[in-house]
Amino acid sequence: MKKPVLLLALTASVLGTLVTSALAAPKLSAQSIIVNPVQTTLQARVWVNRDPSGARTPVYYVGDRITLYTTVDENAYVYLFNINPDGTADQILPNRISGSNYVRAGQTRAFPASGDQFTFDVAGPEGLNRVLVIASRRPLNLSELSTYQQGQSFATVKPTTAPGFAQALSIVVNPITQPVPQQDWTSDTASYTVRY
């Protein structure tokens, strides 16, 4: 008879912790962006030029130039996004300037690359930014997530999907018509802080 009471108390304790966590201020993390729930052999890594280790959160000031790096351990299609402090998101790669988003195993891809004719300059708003890389063995269709405006080189994440970016991106990697198997994609994040 004591097992059901103990189980009920344990369940109430866990639910109380979950409710308390849900009511706490949301924190942007890799888990709140998108995480593959299945272990995969595909590995990707993303970092910024002021922190090659990816272990800390460097500071950039508005107007500073930033370089993003990513690498994969298998040939993969790489998708880069910047999640701004206000919850909006920018699609960095693929774009119309940098060529293909296909990255070979062991290759480190810089954005912008040394020969590119553009820079990636830090802009506001002030606060914590996250760079998200999604690496997939198969190409993803991002048309439901982001669009290119006429004459623009970079796609923008649709305002209607930005607040629910994680959910919108999970629909992209797990579409109803042709889902990408969970073992065929992975994600990683890096962070940096913007100050004026």
Q: Per-residue pLDDT tens for 47-84?
A: 999 999 888 999 999 999 999 999 999 999 999 999 88
pLDDT tops 50 at residue 160: yes
pLDDT for the residue numbered 26: 36
Task: Check if the beta carbon of residue 39 is closer than 8 Å to that of residue 181.
Answer: no
Domains of the chain: 27-195 (2.60.40.2550)
**What confidence tier does 27 reach under pLDDT thresholds 50, 70, 90?**
very low
List the alpha helices (DSSP H) in the chain. Answer: 2-23, 30-33, 165-173
The pLDDT assigned to 191 comes to 94
Structure tokens at 22: 């849900």
Query: Which of 69-78, 108-117, 130-139, 153-162 bottoms out in mean pLDDT, i.e. has the lowest?
Result: 153-162
DSSP-derived secondary structure letter, 184:
G
Q: Where are the alpha helices (DSSP H) in 24-61?
A: 30-33
**Within 10 Å of residue 111's Cβ, how many Cβ atoms?**
21
Q: For residue 183, what is the DSSP state?
A: G
Q: Which of 88, 97, 180, 177 is nearest to 134 (CA)?
A: 180
